[in-house]
Amino acid sequence: MRNERVLISGASVAGPALAYWLKRYGFRVTVVERAPELRPGGQAIDVRGPALEVLKRMDLLPEVRARATDLRGISMVDGEGRELFSTTEATASGGRLDRPDVEILRDDLAELLVRAGGPDIEYLFGDSIENLEEDGASGVGGATGAGEAGRSRSGADGAADGADGGGGANGGANGADDGGANGADGGGGEAAGVGGAAGVRVRFESGRERTFDLVVGADGIHSRTRALAFGPEERYIRPLGGHLSVWTAPNYLGLDRWQIAHQPESGPWQALVMSVRGNTEARVYVVIEDDSLLQSEPGETQLRDPEAQKKLIARYCADARWEMPRLLSYMWEAPDFHFDSVAQIHMDSWSRGRVALVGDAGHCGSPASGQGTSMALLGAYTLAGELHAAGGDHVAAFAAYERELRAYVTANQALAHTLREAARRSAGAAADFPAGGEATASAGTRTRVPDYGDDFYDVIDGYTPRDY
Protein backbone atom coordinates (compact mmCIF):
# COMPACT_ATOMS: atom_id res chain seq x y z
CA MET A 1 0.00 0.00 0.00
CA ARG A 2 1.25 3.48 -0.83
CA ASN A 3 1.28 6.53 1.41
CA GLU A 4 1.17 4.67 4.70
CA ARG A 5 2.26 7.50 6.97
CA VAL A 6 -0.59 9.90 7.58
CA LEU A 7 -0.59 12.95 9.83
CA ILE A 8 -3.96 14.24 11.01
CA SER A 9 -4.28 17.66 12.63
CA GLY A 10 -7.07 17.90 15.22
CA ALA A 11 -8.48 15.48 17.78
CA SER A 12 -12.16 16.27 18.16
CA VAL A 13 -14.61 14.35 15.94
CA ALA A 14 -13.27 14.19 12.37
CA GLY A 15 -9.65 13.57 13.41
CA PRO A 16 -10.09 10.56 15.71
CA ALA A 17 -12.75 9.06 13.41
CA LEU A 18 -10.39 9.30 10.44
CA ALA A 19 -7.54 7.88 12.55
CA TYR A 20 -9.73 4.93 13.53
CA TRP A 21 -10.59 4.02 9.94
CA LEU A 22 -7.11 4.57 8.55
CA LYS A 23 -5.58 2.40 11.22
CA ARG A 24 -8.17 -0.28 10.55
CA TYR A 25 -7.09 -0.26 6.91
CA GLY A 26 -3.41 -0.60 7.80
CA PHE A 27 -2.16 2.99 7.63
CA ARG A 28 0.27 4.36 10.23
CA VAL A 29 -1.42 7.31 11.83
CA THR A 30 -0.26 10.26 13.91
CA VAL A 31 -2.71 12.83 15.27
CA VAL A 32 -1.50 16.22 16.46
CA GLU A 33 -3.81 18.21 18.72
CA ARG A 34 -3.04 21.73 19.80
CA ALA A 35 -4.69 21.40 23.19
CA PRO A 36 -2.67 19.71 25.96
CA GLU A 37 -5.31 17.01 26.26
CA LEU A 38 -8.66 16.18 24.73
CA ARG A 39 -10.56 19.43 24.94
CA PRO A 40 -13.49 19.57 27.30
CA GLY A 41 -16.72 21.27 26.43
CA GLY A 42 -18.93 22.00 23.53
CA GLN A 43 -22.52 21.70 22.72
CA ALA A 44 -24.57 18.58 22.71
CA ILE A 45 -24.12 17.49 19.12
CA ASP A 46 -26.22 15.25 16.96
CA VAL A 47 -25.42 12.10 15.06
CA ARG A 48 -28.04 11.41 12.44
CA GLY A 49 -28.85 9.37 9.36
CA PRO A 50 -25.81 7.89 7.58
CA ALA A 51 -23.49 9.02 10.39
CA LEU A 52 -25.30 6.58 12.68
CA GLU A 53 -24.41 3.85 10.19
CA VAL A 54 -20.76 4.92 10.39
CA LEU A 55 -20.81 4.54 14.18
CA LYS A 56 -22.48 1.17 13.76
CA ARG A 57 -19.70 0.02 11.41
CA MET A 58 -17.23 1.14 14.08
CA ASP A 59 -19.10 -1.02 16.64
CA LEU A 60 -19.44 2.16 18.64
CA LEU A 61 -23.16 2.84 18.49
CA PRO A 62 -24.12 1.13 21.78
CA GLU A 63 -21.45 3.05 23.71
CA VAL A 64 -22.47 6.31 22.10
CA ARG A 65 -26.11 5.64 22.92
CA ALA A 66 -25.15 4.89 26.52
CA ARG A 67 -23.59 8.36 26.79
CA ALA A 68 -26.41 10.17 24.97
CA THR A 69 -28.04 13.19 26.55
CA ASP A 70 -31.31 11.24 26.41
CA LEU A 71 -33.45 14.33 26.85
CA ARG A 72 -37.18 14.02 27.39
CA GLY A 73 -38.26 17.42 26.14
CA ILE A 74 -38.16 21.18 26.46
CA SER A 75 -39.99 24.03 28.12
CA MET A 76 -39.87 27.60 27.07
CA VAL A 77 -39.94 30.45 29.52
CA ASP A 78 -40.33 34.17 29.06
CA GLY A 79 -38.14 36.91 30.43
CA GLU A 80 -39.52 36.41 33.94
CA GLY A 81 -39.28 32.63 33.78
CA ARG A 82 -42.99 31.98 33.23
CA GLU A 83 -43.48 28.83 31.27
CA LEU A 84 -44.99 29.45 27.85
CA PHE A 85 -44.85 26.05 26.32
CA SER A 86 -43.52 22.57 26.77
CA THR A 87 -43.24 19.50 24.61
CA THR A 88 -41.88 15.99 24.82
CA GLU A 89 -41.83 15.60 21.04
CA ALA A 90 -38.70 17.57 20.24
CA THR A 91 -35.93 19.62 21.76
CA ALA A 92 -34.28 22.75 20.44
CA SER A 93 -30.85 21.14 20.31
CA GLY A 94 -31.69 17.64 19.15
CA GLY A 95 -34.82 17.87 17.03
CA ARG A 96 -37.49 15.21 17.01
CA LEU A 97 -37.28 12.67 19.78
CA ASP A 98 -39.03 9.88 17.88
CA ARG A 99 -36.02 9.32 15.65
CA PRO A 100 -33.04 7.00 16.15
CA ASP A 101 -30.69 10.03 16.19
CA VAL A 102 -28.26 10.35 19.07
CA GLU A 103 -27.49 13.57 20.88
CA ILE A 104 -24.23 13.41 22.81
CA LEU A 105 -21.77 15.92 24.25
CA ARG A 106 -18.99 16.72 21.82
CA ASP A 107 -16.30 15.93 24.36
CA ASP A 108 -17.89 12.57 25.23
CA LEU A 109 -18.00 11.58 21.58
CA ALA A 110 -14.38 12.65 21.05
CA GLU A 111 -13.27 10.53 23.99
CA LEU A 112 -15.11 7.47 22.68
CA LEU A 113 -13.66 7.92 19.19
CA VAL A 114 -10.10 8.21 20.51
CA ARG A 115 -10.54 5.16 22.69
CA ALA A 116 -11.99 3.14 19.81
CA GLY A 117 -8.84 3.82 17.78
CA GLY A 118 -6.73 1.92 20.28
CA PRO A 119 -3.10 2.34 21.32
CA ASP A 120 -1.52 2.06 17.87
CA ILE A 121 -2.52 5.56 16.89
CA GLU A 122 0.09 8.09 17.93
CA TYR A 123 -1.36 11.21 19.57
CA LEU A 124 0.79 14.32 19.97
CA PHE A 125 -0.97 16.70 22.33
CA GLY A 126 0.05 20.29 22.95
CA ASP A 127 1.56 20.75 19.52
CA SER A 128 0.54 22.04 16.14
CA ILE A 129 1.75 22.09 12.56
CA GLU A 130 3.81 25.20 11.94
CA ASN A 131 4.99 24.55 8.43
CA LEU A 132 4.21 22.13 5.61
CA GLU A 133 6.57 21.49 2.77
CA GLU A 134 5.63 19.08 0.06
CA ASP A 135 8.54 17.78 -1.90
CA GLY A 136 9.62 15.02 -4.16
CA ALA A 137 8.06 15.07 -7.58
CA SER A 138 4.79 16.50 -6.41
CA GLY A 139 3.26 19.91 -6.44
CA VAL A 140 0.72 21.49 -4.20
CA GLY A 141 -2.57 21.47 -5.93
CA GLY A 142 -5.93 19.88 -6.21
CA ALA A 143 -6.31 16.19 -6.62
CA THR A 144 -7.29 16.89 -10.17
CA GLY A 145 -6.21 19.64 -12.45
CA ALA A 146 -3.21 20.96 -14.27
CA GLY A 147 0.04 20.07 -12.68
CA GLU A 148 2.34 22.40 -10.93
CA ALA A 149 5.55 20.57 -10.45
CA GLY A 150 8.24 21.19 -7.94
CA ARG A 151 8.14 22.15 -4.36
CA SER A 152 5.74 24.26 -2.45
CA ARG A 153 6.15 25.71 0.95
CA SER A 154 3.49 27.11 3.20
CA GLY A 155 4.53 29.29 6.07
CA ALA A 156 2.67 29.32 9.33
CA ASP A 157 2.80 33.05 9.79
CA GLY A 158 -0.62 34.20 10.66
CA ALA A 159 -2.31 30.91 10.00
CA ALA A 160 -5.82 31.04 11.29
CA ASP A 161 -6.40 29.77 14.77
CA GLY A 162 -9.62 29.00 16.52
CA ALA A 163 -11.89 31.77 17.59
CA ASP A 164 -12.27 30.06 20.91
CA GLY A 165 -8.63 30.34 21.71
CA GLY A 166 -7.93 26.72 21.29
CA GLY A 167 -4.59 26.09 22.93
CA GLY A 168 -6.33 24.80 25.98
CA ALA A 169 -9.77 24.94 27.42
CA ASN A 170 -9.47 28.68 27.58
CA GLY A 171 -6.35 28.98 25.58
CA GLY A 172 -4.68 32.02 24.18
CA ALA A 173 -5.84 33.56 20.98
CA ASN A 174 -4.00 34.00 17.76
CA GLY A 175 -4.89 36.25 14.93
CA ALA A 176 -6.02 35.12 11.56
CA ASP A 177 -4.30 37.41 9.15
CA ASP A 178 -2.63 35.83 6.25
CA GLY A 179 -2.42 32.10 6.00
CA GLY A 180 0.15 32.54 3.26
CA ALA A 181 0.01 29.58 0.96
CA ASN A 182 2.68 29.96 -1.65
CA GLY A 183 1.83 28.41 -4.91
CA ALA A 184 -1.50 27.46 -3.51
CA ASP A 185 -3.51 29.13 -6.16
CA GLY A 186 -2.17 27.13 -9.01
CA GLY A 187 -4.69 24.37 -8.63
CA GLY A 188 -1.97 22.06 -9.82
CA GLY A 189 -2.18 18.37 -9.41
CA GLU A 190 0.22 15.56 -8.98
CA ALA A 191 0.45 13.05 -11.74
CA ALA A 192 -0.83 9.73 -10.51
CA GLY A 193 1.86 7.25 -9.91
CA VAL A 194 4.56 9.71 -8.99
CA GLY A 195 6.39 7.90 -6.31
CA GLY A 196 9.90 8.03 -5.00
CA ALA A 197 10.61 10.24 -2.05
CA ALA A 198 7.45 12.33 -2.33
CA GLY A 199 6.03 13.38 0.98
CA VAL A 200 5.20 16.28 3.20
CA ARG A 201 7.85 17.58 5.52
CA VAL A 202 6.23 18.96 8.62
CA ARG A 203 7.71 21.27 11.17
CA PHE A 204 5.76 21.46 14.40
CA GLU A 205 5.55 24.39 16.78
CA SER A 206 7.53 22.35 19.29
CA GLY A 207 10.40 22.34 16.82
CA ARG A 208 10.20 18.65 15.94
CA GLU A 209 10.33 17.84 12.24
CA ARG A 210 8.95 14.75 10.55
CA THR A 211 7.97 13.60 7.10
CA PHE A 212 4.59 12.09 6.30
CA ASP A 213 3.14 10.78 3.08
CA LEU A 214 -0.16 12.59 3.55
CA VAL A 215 -1.48 15.31 5.85
CA VAL A 216 -5.16 15.74 6.69
CA GLY A 217 -6.55 18.85 8.34
CA ALA A 218 -9.30 17.94 10.81
CA ASP A 219 -8.64 21.06 12.83
CA GLY A 220 -12.02 22.70 12.68
CA ILE A 221 -13.57 25.76 11.15
CA HIS A 222 -10.46 27.87 11.76
CA SER A 223 -8.16 25.14 10.41
CA ARG A 224 -4.52 26.01 10.37
CA THR A 225 -3.84 23.18 7.94
CA ARG A 226 -6.24 24.84 5.53
CA ALA A 227 -4.56 28.20 5.97
CA LEU A 228 -1.16 26.66 5.32
CA ALA A 229 -2.09 24.66 2.25
CA PHE A 230 -5.00 26.57 0.73
CA GLY A 231 -4.66 30.16 1.85
CA PRO A 232 -6.27 32.46 4.39
CA GLU A 233 -9.55 31.71 6.11
CA GLU A 234 -11.18 34.81 4.67
CA ARG A 235 -11.35 33.08 1.29
CA TYR A 236 -13.45 30.25 2.57
CA ILE A 237 -15.49 31.36 5.56
CA ARG A 238 -19.07 32.56 5.19
CA PRO A 239 -20.54 34.04 8.37
CA LEU A 240 -24.24 33.37 8.71
CA GLY A 241 -24.73 35.97 11.42
CA GLY A 242 -24.98 35.14 15.07
CA HIS A 243 -22.56 33.98 17.75
CA LEU A 244 -22.87 30.96 19.99
CA SER A 245 -21.35 30.42 23.42
CA VAL A 246 -21.51 27.32 25.60
CA TRP A 247 -20.29 26.56 29.11
CA THR A 248 -20.78 24.05 31.90
CA ALA A 249 -22.69 24.88 35.09
CA PRO A 250 -24.01 22.81 37.99
CA ASN A 251 -27.50 21.44 37.43
CA TYR A 252 -28.78 23.46 40.38
CA LEU A 253 -32.14 23.86 38.62
CA GLY A 254 -32.67 20.14 39.10
CA LEU A 255 -33.47 19.54 35.44
CA ASP A 256 -34.32 15.92 34.80
CA ARG A 257 -33.14 15.13 31.25
CA TRP A 258 -34.77 18.37 30.28
CA GLN A 259 -33.97 21.64 28.60
CA ILE A 260 -35.33 25.14 29.07
CA ALA A 261 -35.24 27.84 26.43
CA HIS A 262 -35.28 31.39 27.72
CA GLN A 263 -36.17 34.40 25.64
CA PRO A 264 -35.90 37.91 27.05
CA GLU A 265 -38.59 40.43 26.09
CA SER A 266 -35.97 42.45 24.30
CA GLY A 267 -32.39 42.09 23.28
CA PRO A 268 -30.90 40.10 20.41
CA TRP A 269 -30.07 37.00 22.39
CA GLN A 270 -31.58 33.76 23.66
CA ALA A 271 -30.41 31.22 26.20
CA LEU A 272 -30.82 27.50 26.62
CA VAL A 273 -29.96 25.36 29.61
CA MET A 274 -30.05 21.57 29.67
CA SER A 275 -29.10 18.81 32.04
CA VAL A 276 -26.44 16.40 30.79
CA ARG A 277 -24.47 13.38 32.00
CA GLY A 278 -27.27 11.82 33.99
CA ASN A 279 -28.40 15.20 35.35
CA THR A 280 -25.06 15.64 37.16
CA GLU A 281 -24.30 18.85 35.34
CA ALA A 282 -25.81 21.39 32.98
CA ARG A 283 -24.71 23.11 29.80
CA VAL A 284 -25.69 26.71 29.22
CA TYR A 285 -25.90 28.28 25.78
CA VAL A 286 -26.27 31.91 24.84
CA VAL A 287 -26.91 32.78 21.21
CA ILE A 288 -26.44 36.40 20.17
CA GLU A 289 -28.15 37.35 16.92
CA ASP A 290 -26.67 40.75 16.23
CA ASP A 291 -25.30 41.12 12.72
CA SER A 292 -23.52 44.31 13.61
CA LEU A 293 -21.42 42.56 16.23
CA LEU A 294 -18.32 42.00 14.17
CA GLN A 295 -18.29 45.52 12.80
CA SER A 296 -18.58 47.16 16.20
CA GLU A 297 -16.67 47.01 19.44
CA PRO A 298 -15.03 44.81 20.56
CA GLY A 299 -14.19 43.80 17.03
CA GLU A 300 -12.92 40.61 15.50
CA THR A 301 -9.57 40.54 17.25
CA GLN A 302 -11.03 40.74 20.73
CA LEU A 303 -13.60 38.13 19.78
CA ARG A 304 -10.70 35.70 19.71
CA ASP A 305 -9.98 36.39 23.36
CA PRO A 306 -12.09 34.29 25.78
CA GLU A 307 -12.15 37.04 28.41
CA ALA A 308 -13.40 39.56 25.87
CA GLN A 309 -15.99 37.03 24.72
CA LYS A 310 -17.27 36.56 28.27
CA LYS A 311 -17.49 40.31 28.80
CA LEU A 312 -19.42 40.61 25.58
CA ILE A 313 -22.00 38.06 26.70
CA ALA A 314 -22.25 39.70 30.10
CA ARG A 315 -22.93 43.00 28.39
CA TYR A 316 -25.67 41.62 26.15
CA CYS A 317 -27.29 39.86 29.10
CA ALA A 318 -26.79 42.68 31.60
CA ASP A 319 -30.52 43.15 32.17
CA ALA A 320 -31.40 39.48 32.04
CA ARG A 321 -33.79 38.12 34.64
CA TRP A 322 -35.05 34.61 35.43
CA GLU A 323 -32.06 32.41 36.34
CA MET A 324 -29.72 34.18 33.97
CA PRO A 325 -27.62 36.09 36.53
CA ARG A 326 -26.75 32.85 38.30
CA LEU A 327 -26.18 30.88 35.10
CA LEU A 328 -23.94 33.68 33.86
CA SER A 329 -21.98 33.64 37.11
CA TYR A 330 -20.72 30.14 36.23
CA MET A 331 -19.46 31.36 32.89
CA TRP A 332 -16.53 33.25 34.38
CA GLU A 333 -14.87 30.17 35.87
CA ALA A 334 -16.07 27.56 33.38
CA PRO A 335 -13.15 25.35 32.31
CA ASP A 336 -14.71 24.66 28.94
CA PHE A 337 -16.10 27.99 27.77
CA HIS A 338 -16.57 27.97 23.99
CA PHE A 339 -17.52 30.89 21.76
CA ASP A 340 -17.58 31.24 18.03
CA SER A 341 -19.41 32.94 15.22
CA VAL A 342 -21.97 30.91 13.33
CA ALA A 343 -20.28 30.40 9.97
CA GLN A 344 -19.70 27.92 7.20
CA ILE A 345 -16.70 26.87 5.16
CA HIS A 346 -17.08 26.57 1.40
CA MET A 347 -14.22 25.34 -0.76
CA ASP A 348 -13.95 24.39 -4.41
CA SER A 349 -11.71 21.48 -3.52
CA TRP A 350 -11.03 19.60 -0.31
CA SER A 351 -7.53 18.57 -1.28
CA ARG A 352 -4.37 20.04 -2.68
CA GLY A 353 -1.46 17.79 -3.48
CA ARG A 354 -0.87 15.56 -0.48
CA VAL A 355 -3.01 17.62 1.87
CA ALA A 356 -6.73 16.99 2.39
CA LEU A 357 -9.37 18.43 4.69
CA VAL A 358 -12.14 16.67 6.56
CA GLY A 359 -14.95 17.81 8.86
CA ASP A 360 -15.41 21.48 9.69
CA ALA A 361 -12.00 22.31 8.26
CA GLY A 362 -13.22 21.54 4.75
CA HIS A 363 -16.96 21.98 4.82
CA CYS A 364 -18.27 23.31 8.13
CA GLY A 365 -22.04 23.44 8.13
CA SER A 366 -22.23 25.51 11.33
CA PRO A 367 -24.31 24.79 14.43
CA ALA A 368 -27.22 26.23 12.46
CA SER A 369 -27.24 23.18 10.18
CA GLY A 370 -27.29 20.70 13.05
CA GLN A 371 -25.17 18.45 10.84
CA GLY A 372 -21.53 19.39 11.49
CA THR A 373 -20.73 16.30 13.51
CA SER A 374 -22.53 13.89 11.21
CA MET A 375 -20.67 15.40 8.24
CA ALA A 376 -17.38 15.03 10.11
CA LEU A 377 -18.01 11.34 10.84
CA LEU A 378 -19.12 10.63 7.31
CA GLY A 379 -16.22 12.57 5.80
CA ALA A 380 -13.71 10.66 7.89
CA TYR A 381 -15.26 7.33 6.97
CA THR A 382 -15.35 8.16 3.26
CA LEU A 383 -11.86 9.64 3.02
CA ALA A 384 -10.32 6.63 4.76
CA GLY A 385 -12.45 4.23 2.71
CA GLU A 386 -11.39 5.79 -0.58
CA LEU A 387 -7.71 5.73 0.41
CA HIS A 388 -8.11 2.07 1.24
CA ALA A 389 -9.95 1.32 -1.99
CA ALA A 390 -7.26 3.10 -4.02
CA GLY A 391 -4.43 1.22 -2.33
CA GLY A 392 -3.21 4.48 -0.86
CA ASP A 393 -3.15 6.40 -4.16
CA HIS A 394 -4.05 9.79 -2.79
CA VAL A 395 -4.74 11.41 -6.16
CA ALA A 396 -7.42 8.88 -6.97
CA ALA A 397 -8.70 8.69 -3.40
CA PHE A 398 -8.99 12.43 -2.77
CA ALA A 399 -10.92 12.87 -6.02
CA ALA A 400 -13.22 9.94 -5.20
CA TYR A 401 -13.81 11.25 -1.65
CA GLU A 402 -15.02 14.49 -3.06
CA ARG A 403 -17.13 12.92 -5.81
CA GLU A 404 -18.80 10.71 -3.25
CA LEU A 405 -19.70 13.37 -0.69
CA ARG A 406 -19.81 16.79 -2.32
CA ALA A 407 -23.53 16.78 -3.23
CA TYR A 408 -24.61 15.47 0.15
CA VAL A 409 -22.44 17.98 2.01
CA THR A 410 -23.81 20.85 -0.07
CA ALA A 411 -27.38 19.79 0.67
CA ASN A 412 -26.58 19.60 4.39
CA GLN A 413 -24.93 23.01 4.42
CA ALA A 414 -28.08 24.41 2.86
CA LEU A 415 -30.06 23.13 5.86
CA ALA A 416 -28.55 25.93 7.92
CA HIS A 417 -30.30 28.48 5.74
CA THR A 418 -33.53 26.50 5.74
CA LEU A 419 -33.65 26.29 9.52
CA ARG A 420 -32.60 29.88 10.11
CA GLU A 421 -35.12 31.22 7.63
CA ALA A 422 -37.87 29.17 9.24
CA ALA A 423 -36.86 30.52 12.65
CA ARG A 424 -36.84 34.11 11.39
CA ARG A 425 -40.23 33.75 9.71
CA SER A 426 -41.76 32.31 12.81
CA ALA A 427 -40.34 34.88 15.22
CA GLY A 428 -43.24 36.33 17.11
CA ALA A 429 -45.74 33.76 15.96
CA ALA A 430 -47.12 31.74 18.82
CA ALA A 431 -49.10 29.45 16.57
CA ASP A 432 -46.15 27.65 15.09
CA PHE A 433 -45.07 25.58 18.03
CA PRO A 434 -44.68 22.01 16.89
CA ALA A 435 -47.78 19.93 16.89
CA GLY A 436 -48.27 17.89 20.01
CA GLY A 437 -46.73 20.36 22.40
CA GLU A 438 -48.73 21.99 25.08
CA ALA A 439 -49.00 25.74 24.98
CA THR A 440 -49.16 26.95 28.55
CA ALA A 441 -49.24 30.55 27.45
CA SER A 442 -49.21 32.06 24.06
CA ALA A 443 -48.70 35.76 23.72
CA GLY A 444 -45.55 37.64 23.15
CA THR A 445 -42.95 34.94 22.88
CA ARG A 446 -40.24 34.95 20.26
CA THR A 447 -38.92 31.61 21.42
CA ARG A 448 -39.68 28.42 19.63
CA VAL A 449 -38.39 24.95 18.96
CA PRO A 450 -36.74 25.02 15.54
CA ASP A 451 -38.91 23.36 12.98
CA TYR A 452 -37.06 20.17 12.16
CA GLY A 453 -39.63 19.33 9.53
CA ASP A 454 -39.83 16.44 7.09
CA ASP A 455 -37.71 18.29 4.54
CA PHE A 456 -34.86 18.48 7.03
CA TYR A 457 -34.94 14.75 7.64
CA ASP A 458 -35.43 13.92 3.95
CA VAL A 459 -32.10 15.59 3.22
CA ILE A 460 -30.34 13.87 6.10
CA ASP A 461 -31.64 10.42 5.25
CA GLY A 462 -30.92 10.86 1.56
CA TYR A 463 -27.55 9.14 1.50
CA THR A 464 -26.20 5.70 2.38
CA PRO A 465 -22.50 5.30 3.15
CA ARG A 466 -20.60 3.17 0.64
CA ASP A 467 -19.10 -0.15 1.60
CA TYR A 468 -15.32 -0.17 1.38
List residues near ligand FAD by CB under 6 A. Answer: 9-15, 32-35, 39, 41-43, 45, 106, 128, 162, 166, 218-220, 224, 244, 246, 338, 359-360, 367, 372-373, 376
Nearest-angstrom CA–CA distance, 387 and 278: 39
Query: In terms of CB distance, is 244 or 411 closer to ligand FAD?
Result: 244
Which whole-number Å values give the CA distances from 229 to 160, 178, 223, 356, 448, in the listed order?
12, 12, 10, 9, 42
- Minimum Å gap between C-beta 160 and ligand FAD is 9
Nearest-angstrom CA–CA distance, 425 and 231: 37
- Minimum Å gap between C-beta 220 and ligand FAD is 3
Query: In terms of CB distance, is 39 or 48 closer to ligand FAD?
Result: 39
Query: In terms of CB distance, is 51 or 395 closer to ligand FAD?
Result: 51
The angle at the Cα of 372, spanning 370 to 377, to the nearest 5 degrees, equals: 125
The SS3 call for residue 68 is: coil
Query: In terms of CB distance, is 320 or 334 closer to ligand FAD?
Result: 334
Nearest-angstrom CA–CA distance, 36 and 169: 9
- Minimum Å gap between C-beta 187 and ligand FAD is 24
Helix (H) or strand (E) holding 459: helix 454-460
Nearest-angstrom CA–CA distance, 380 and 54: 9
Which whole-number Å values give the CA distances from 4 to 23, 336, 398, 408, in the listed order?
10, 35, 15, 28
- Minimum Å gap between C-beta 62 and ligand FAD is 20
Query: In terms of CB distance, is 369 or 445 closer to ligand FAD?
Result: 369
**Residue of this chain nearest to ligand FAD (CB atom):** 359
- Minimum Å gap between C-beta 84 and ligand FAD is 25
Query: In terms of CB distance, is 200 or 218 closer to ligand FAD?
Result: 218
Query: In terms of CB distance, is 84 or 364 closer to ligand FAD?
Result: 364
366 and 342 Cβ atoms separated by less than 8 Å: yes
The SS3 call for residue 77 is: strand
- Minimum Å gap between C-beta 93 and ligand FAD is 9
- Minimum Å gap between C-beta 444 and ligand FAD is 28
